[in-house]
Structure 1
């Protein structure tokens, strides 16, 4: 009986991890789209982009392969954060 419960919990953890990865990807895509929109509005209003914004705008123009690498890096960073958070025990 205990074995089934463990298997159910492991399956649920895998489902939740997949959900987190999917949501992380969506968040990264939304941030990229938001930056693009902000840059477009700034251009229309004639604002001069800051140094960091210039780097961001060149990153958003990169190829789809580079975009996938960015998403992967963001997901890995999220995974690393989750792993370090799991070490914290709240009493």
Structure 2
């Protein structure tokens, strides 16, 4: 019966160590969660707001080309490309 008692004591010690380890992990996780919640509760910084505003100002409108040129300029370029006298009338330049 002493072997059984020793085995049980060893098993109890293992379980206590496991419980201690899991408790430490739980406490650490709780601290990380509180830190993340604190970050979410803070208003965005001025730099973050500026970056968001600059990003929206950089994005072009749907009716204008991304390079900032007017649509009229691109039409002029297209007409000059069509009048090219290279002798290759069959080739369409995109």
- Please give the TM-score of this superposition, normalised by the length of structure 1: 0.47
Bigger share in helix = 1
Q: Which has the higher contact order (CA 8 A, sep 6+)?
A: 1
In the superposition, the TM-score normalised over structure 2's length comes to: 0.45
